[in-house]
Amino acid sequence: MMLEDLRCAVAEANRALVEHQLVTLTWGNVSGIDRDKGLFAIKPSGVPYDRLSPGDIVLVDMEGRVADGALKPSSDTPTHLRLYQRFGDIGGVTHTHSAYATALSQARVELPCLGTTHADHFMGTVPCTRQLTPDEVDAGYEIATGDAIVERFQRAPDPLDPTRIPAVLVAGHAPFTWGKDASESVTNSVALEACARMAILSGLLPPGEPRALEPHILKKHHDRKHGPGAYYGQTHRPGL
Ligand SMILES: [Zn+2]
């Protein structure tokens, strides 16, 4: 892929965040990598999505240095870099603060697989990272965030496969997802948000059988609208 094509694809993937209602203000960024050239393309920091053109997309090398671009890359760039360095099969990374997935991140709750919607996308629980220490934050907050994600996936005794669970909830922060390219990483953010929303809604329902409406209230309501003595609505409509 030409680098110009990569920039176009990454600009489009960033704009897709708005289309999928995954971002508020500029709280989200997408990147995509060209592993042969050792460069990844990422959203510039703080630029509104509707004004984002391929030329604004910043190219960054595998040391985290800007290789090409007039604008400053996203402040989350070191986290993307770490994921590309440690997860060798991924080609795109998305970070958003989408509401339901972020709610789980803030609650430090992992997202269990409760149904087939989740199973179609994620091979089991979407994990949550540990909280960073003050020293880690001081030494390099964004790289430490990437390290905490990798650490969570490599944790014994049950390491997780990032290609089968392409998402993580960063404790106290928000989700990151990835995929084979920038576009697929956005799709995985859409899926994560939908699964997080459904899981939270599922948790609001009491366990056991759903409770049916009492028969006498069912009959009353149905009959008052449709029964022989129906009285719902306007019998006499003044002026007509
Ligand atoms: Zn963030």
pLDDT tens column, 35-73 = 999 999 999 999 999 989 999 999 999 999 999 999 999
* Residue 120 annotated in active site: yes
Q: Does 215 map to a domain?
A: no
Candidate list 36, 120, 135, 158, residue with the active-site label? 120
For the chain, the domain total comes to 1
**Separation of 213 CA from ligand 1 center, angstroms?**
44
The pTM of the whole model exceeds 0.75: yes
**Separation of 43 CA from ligand 1 center, angstroms?**
13
Q: How far apart are CA 82 and CA 63, in angstroms?
A: 10
Q: Does 232 map to a domain?
A: no
Candidate list 68, 89, 138, 232, residue with the active-site label? 232
CB of 194 within 8 A of CB of 186?
A: no
Does 156 have pLDDT greater than 80? Answer: yes
Q: Does 58 map to a domain?
A: yes
Does 17 have pLDDT greater than 50? Answer: yes
Q: Does 209 map to a domain?
A: no
Per DSSP (E only), the strands in the chain are 28-34, 39-42, 58-61, 66-68, 92-96, 167-169, 175-179
Q: Which residues constitute the domain of residue 101?
A: 3-204
Average pLDDT over all residues of the chain: 93
Q: Does 226 map to a domain?
A: no
**Separation of 145 CA from ligand 1 center, angstroms?**
10
Q: What is the CATH number of the domain that holds 25?
A: 3.40.225.10
Q: Does 172 map to a domain?
A: yes
User: Which tens digits make up the pLDDT trace of 197-225?
Assistant: 999 998 877 777 666 777 888 888 888 98
Q: Does 79 map to a domain?
A: yes
CB of 89 within 8 A of CB of 169?
A: no
**Separation of 96 CA from ligand 1 center, angstroms?**
6
Q: Does 102 map to a domain?
A: yes
**Separation of 210 CA from ligand 1 center, angstroms?**
38
Going by the DSSP 8-state scheme, the letter that residue 56 receives in this structure is G
